[in-house]
Amino acid sequence: MLIRRPSDILPSEITPPEVFLNRRQFMLAAAGSALLAGEAMAALKSAPSPYSTGEKMNSLKEITTYNNFYEFGTDKSDPAEKASSLKTRPWQIVVEGEVGKARIFGIEEILKLAPLEERIYRLRCVEGWSMVIPWIGIPLASLLKQVQPTGNAKFVAFETLNDPTQMPGVKRQVLDWPYREGLRIDEAMHPLTILAVGLYGEVLPKQNGAPIRLVVPWKYGFKSIKSIVRIRLQTQQPVTSWNQSAPNEYGFYSNVNPAVDHPRWSQASERRIGEYFKRKTLPFNGYADQVASLYKGMNLIKNF
Ligand code: MTE
């Protein structure tokens, strides 16, 4: 099912079905192959993913106008205003390192690796706000399996495009560009971890990380790196942008954890965008049943 309509959403807040259908056709056209169109259609008609939350979704407007994408500026409104200069076709991702078959994938090839699936996930930003977003994507594992990781592949490093001609924000050294992120291999292979290529039934908007971005719902939002061009499997724990910029504030793991405060503010509660009252933040952002076992025996205060 592509869109759910809880009774508490005002009709004006949701997308009318005709517009939605056009978007779906747009997405299928953009996907660019009859095979993919068939697969995507089948996925969109199928039952909601067991991984999806039934919580009320944020509106398309909220999801696409309140963004962090520092390559386009540091204000929440900058990405929606400035990301139109990002060129998302042609697009390639290099997948290399501790693998049997290093390869460069074109975006169209990646779209064909697995049926597109809708996943309605909570996103909890380290800044204290959250949203519920209906992503469309494929498991990251389906891409990684293609390159045959070796036994030495313990971690996965990701990099965003770094092009000052398309990204005005990288002219300022607010971070050491390119934006970098990393996961442990078991986190990367986990079925909740996806590469998103769309949201709300349309091609991923540029401000949300087009054409392809990571989504790891049990970690703070900054782990979900946008506009990925390089993925490297490696033995060493990767350098990550926020850990490098402020190591005492942002750890490598960055699992959503209400018991571990950020040094400058509490992480015990969050404000859902569009709501007034705060709600309690859940361990692992509410995905503890699926992922807590990955960290068995680990000190999550030390490994924050
Ligand atoms: N990826 C890149 N390349 N650059 C960024 O600045 N910001 C991160 C993450 N991915 C960021 C990024 C942060 S802080 C958050 S909260 C999420 O993207 C926001 O994703 P959204 O705009 O789709 O909600």
For helices 17-31 and 34-45, the axis angle rounded to 10 degrees is 140
Cα-to-centroid distance, 100 and ligand 1 (Å) = 31
Cα-to-centroid distance, 224 and ligand 1 (Å) = 6
Q: Is 285 in the pocket of ligand 1 (CB under 6 A)?
A: no
Inside any domain, residue 241: yes
Q: Cα(152)–Cα(97) distance, rounded to whole angstroms?
A: 10
Cα-to-centroid distance, 140 and ligand 1 (Å) = 18
User: For 154, how many CA atoms within 13 A lie in the half-sphere containing its CB?
Assistant: 5
Question: Ligand 1: which of 68, 167, 174 to mutate, judged by most atoms within 8 Å of the beta carbon?
Answer: 68
Q: Is 123 in the pocket of ligand 1 (CB under 6 A)?
A: yes
Contact 40, 27 (CB under 8 A): yes
Cα-to-centroid distance, 70 and ligand 1 (Å) = 8
Inside any domain, residue 237: yes
Inside any domain, residue 1: no
Inside any domain, residue 34: yes
Two structure tokens written together for 271: 């404000």
DSSP 8-state class, residue 281: P
Q: Is 222 in the pocket of ligand 1 (CB under 6 A)?
A: yes
Q: Cα(95)–Cα(102) distance, rounded to whole angstroms?
A: 6
Q: Whole-model pTM? A: 0.89
Inside any domain, residue 170: yes
| Residue 52, amino acid | S
Ligand 1 atom closest to residue 68's alpha carbon, by position in its atom list:
7
CATH number of 59's domain: 3.90.420.10
Average pLDDT for runs of 10 along the chain of length 304: 41 46 50 48 66 97 98 98 98 98 98 97 98 98 98 99 98 98 99 98 97 98 99 98 98 98 98 98 98 98 96
DSSP-based three-state secondary structure for 71? helix
Return the closest-CA partner of residue 141 out of 165, 166, 159, 114.
114
Q: Is 69 in the pocket of ligand 1 (CB under 6 A)?
A: yes
Which residues form the domain of 222?
11-295
Inside any domain, residue 304: no
Looking at residue 48, what is its pLDDT?
74
Inside any domain, residue 5: no
Cα-to-centroid distance, 69 and ligand 1 (Å) = 5
Contact 279, 129 (CB under 8 A): no
Cα-to-centroid distance, 43 and ligand 1 (Å) = 26
Two structure tokens written together for 20: 């939605």
Inside any domain, residue 6: no
Looking at residue 237, what is its pLDDT?
98
Q: Is 243 in the pocket of ligand 1 (CB under 6 A)?
A: no
Q: Is 58 in the pocket of ligand 1 (CB under 6 A)?
A: no
Number of domains in the chain: 1
The set of residues, in sequence order, having a beta carbon less than 8 Å from that of 293 and lying 6+ positions away, is none
